[in-house]
Amino acid sequence: MPFMGMSAMDLKREFVALAGVEGTNISELCRRFGVSRTLADRLLKRHAAEGEAGLLERSRRPKTSPGRTSPAIEAAVMAVRAEHPAWGGRKIARVLAMRGLAAPSPSTVTEILKRNGVALGAHGGGAAPFVRFEHAAPNDLWQMDFKGHVGMARGRLHPLTVLDDHSRFAIVLAACADQQRETVKVHLTRAFERYGLPRRLITDNGPPWGTGRLARHGGEVWTELGVWLAEQDIHVSRSAPMHPQTLGKDERFHRTLKAEALSGPPFADIAAAARALGRWRDVYNLERPHEALGMAPPASRHAVSPRPYTPAPEPFAYGPDDQPRKVWEGGRFDFKGRTWRICRAFTGKTIALRPTATDGRHHVVFRASRIATLDLNRPIGHPHV
């Protein structure tokens, strides 16, 4: 650095004084003081024009900053961040552009947040989006799960979530007081009436949609909720035990939900939770830029299903080779002179036995779903399919 050692101002005065002596070799003087000829010429010109004031240190900041974000845009950035404390630069920049403002780049938004003392933590943006497989069209697959238990001032909250695999549209975000079958049916019925039916719906293995265990002789243990869904010709599948990543998009939605809607003070009760989750669901579906969707909100990619919900489905027409059977109390039915047992959830329903390519083996089907396999070659003492 030039003019080091003594007081910088004293060195400058001495340099100017010596440079003013007639016959002084300015280049050699610069070498002695360790400064460039360019700096020396600038200093001497300023001293000639301003006197000693010209020797004072000048700020290197430009007098104008044409690239600096305007105060209005900076205020808009901070306003969006105040509305959504978990959003980072990419989402805020996208929202400003959607509002018709001259939005800065995501990196500039991040710098504005930092400049205003915002600590960008785990939910502050900056991470590269993780690309997952997705189904080709809305309503091809819905993912459904409960978001654990959330404490409230009074009682406990069990958020029920249903997410469309293609659009990430939150079909259901319900504040539930329990995880019972009838509670789920109420919210799914409302969703079916508004959005139509999906082709497939995937859940985990826990109640109320699963039992957490498998049948002893092949197939799943069906619940009444699963049978009700199958009556709507919705193919129900379940994630592999201990593999929650099968519901990866809904699990990711749960993390966002926790960061943006559940991280504040506890809700007073279920009614307060329902209002808050309803408001957040609107923001998530209609406004919040989604990185996996090219920063578009989920509603921009969603569409209602052409398959309508019917409270009382028509009887199913089984194929000509199918042999229908009525399931009676306890999940029992008769076939080939023997009494067999399947899940109790099918009591009162009509199933069918469909022959396979293997002699003596039949698939047990309920409407469009295959629910088990029956083997006539098994000993008579084993009535379970």
What is the chain's pLDDT, residue by residue, as a tens digit (385 residues)? 465 544 677 788 888 888 888 888 999 888 888 889 999 999 899 889 888 788 887 665 555 555 566 777 777 877 777 777 777 888 888 888 877 777 778 888 788 777 766 766 544 444 444 445 566 789 999 999 999 889 999 999 999 999 999 999 999 999 999 999 999 999 999 999 999 999 999 888 777 876 544 444 445 678 899 999 999 999 888 765 544 455 788 889 999 999 999 988 999 999 999 999 999 999 999 988 888 888 889 998 899 999 999 999 999 999 999 999 999 999 999 999 999 999 899 999 999 999 999 999 999 999 988 889 999 988 765 566 7
197, 305 Cβ separation under 8 angstroms? yes
Can you give the pLDDT at residue 87? 79
Q: Where are the domains of the chain?
A: 8-55, 73-115, 141-204+239-301, 323-375
**Cα radius of gyration rounded to whole Å, the chain:** 35
- For tokens 């379940």, name the residue: 238
Can you give the pLDDT at residue 111? 80
Question: Could you write out the three-class secondary structure of 148-208?
Answer: CCEECCCCEEEEEEEEECCCCCEEEEEEECCCCHHHHHHHHHHHHHHHCCCCEEEECCCCC
Can you give the pLDDT at residue 60? 59
Q: Rounded to whole angstroms, what are the CA distances from 9 to 3, 28, 35, 54?
A: 8, 20, 14, 11
* Secondary structure of residue 145 in the 3-state scheme: strand
Superfamily of domain 141-204+239-301: Ribonuclease H-like superfamily/Ribonuclease H (3.30.420.10)
Strands, E, within 165-306: which ranges?
170-176, 200-203, 235-238
Write out the two tokens for 137. Answer: 């069209």
Write out the two tokens for 116. Answer: 């205003």
What one-character DSSP code corresponds to residue 222?
-
Q: Rounded to whole angstroms, what are the CA distances from 318 to 61, 126, 160, 314, 322?
A: 81, 54, 34, 12, 6
- Which amino acid is present at 210? G
Can you give the pLDDT at residue 65? 52
Can you give the pLDDT at residue 220? 61
Interhelix angle 248-261/270-286, nearest 10 degrees: 110
d(C-alpha 58, C-alpha 49), whole Å:
15
Strand partners, 220: 214
Can you give the pLDDT at residue 214? 43
What one-character DSSP code corresponds to residue 61?
S
Cα 239 → chain centroid? 19
State pTM to two decimals. 0.66
170, 189 Cβ separation under 8 angstroms? no
d(C-alpha 332, C-alpha 355), whole Å:
19
Q: What is the dihedral of CA 93, 96, 102, 108, to 10 degrees?
A: -30
Strand partners, 384: 341
Contacts of 130 by beta carbon, 8 Å cutoff, 6+ apart? 292
Q: Rounded to whole angstroms, what are the CA distances from 137 to 33, 141, 291, 300?
A: 74, 9, 18, 13
Strands, E, within 37-155: which ranges?
141-146, 150-151
331, 308 Cβ separation under 8 angstroms? no
Closest by Cα among 129, 131, 158, 132 to 145: 158
| Straight-line distance from the first to the last Cα atom of the chain, in angstroms, rounded to the nearest whole number | 88
